[in-house]
Chains A and B, each alone.
Chain A
Amino acid sequence: MTEVGESPGDDFAPYSTSVMESSQKMSEIAGFGDPICSALVLKGGRMLIMHEARIDGQSVYLSILCSRVPAGVQALIKKIVECLTRAMTGHA
């Protein structure tokens, strides 16, 4: 849908949705409850954080590539989702 900063482009999107769907399935099988987010730890301490948000009945997949894990990741995700909700629906 949209991207900012350096990102691997269109090839990247199908994999991030698959990761979130698989993590959903894994959590369901294990009985751990709905996943909040998934992350890949990459070389050099980089981290790719992925989150599935439901906005106006649609699933939107968010991927954040960080060179270092920011403090308060969940609060950051919440803030981004609020911005997206405002942009997509016109209200928070």
Chain B
Amino acid sequence: MGSYQFDWSVILTGQYHDWLISGLYITIQLSLVSIALSFLLGLIIAIMRMSTVAPVRWFAVGYLEFFRNTPLLIQLFFWYFGSYKILPEAVNDWLNAQNYEFAAAVIGLTIYTSAFIAEDIRSGVRSIPKEQMEAARSSGFSYVRSMQYIILPQAVRLTIPPLISQFLNLTKNSSLAMTIGVAELTYQARQVESYTFKGFEAFTAATLVYLILSIVITALVTWYDQKVLSPMGMK
């Protein structure tokens, strides 16, 4: 290793550069699709978790505990290798017609992340003082309207920073999709390494991309905390 020759041209131009760029493109695509879906699913699970109907609430609790307390990798393996036995035939046919690796990664990342998002949303709602709801109800709003106009608008503002860090986690977690053959950024960095033995350069490139994503997102959250939440006295 002492005689390691650095060759940055490997990753800056040519075929291997294109591999890394296509990997970045897949990482972004996978992350964006899963972010949108996991937000929707997380919102649904959070609402179920706060439901007054006990069985609905129990289902949500079971969902949250199970998916938060098992490794994402196992969940990905399950959806990729093992889900065909429990899914209906029609769903299997549909999945097989898609890019199966990508679909399994989206399902795994979405379900895993939705469990964390649901908890963030719930704690956002719970941090709104009870009196807000009581005041809304006593001035004639129904429960649903109070939620819609009084509680949720405040809760959503409070939930945005933790949600954004969940989205950042999701983007980092999407690197696990390489294990089921999705050709995202980490996968491509490893490919470049095994084809050229220029692992140092390839991993540096991938690491920098992840770092830039993290720095930008962290800066956004900090800005939001300081410029939006603090002036409203919500921090």
A and B, one complex?
no
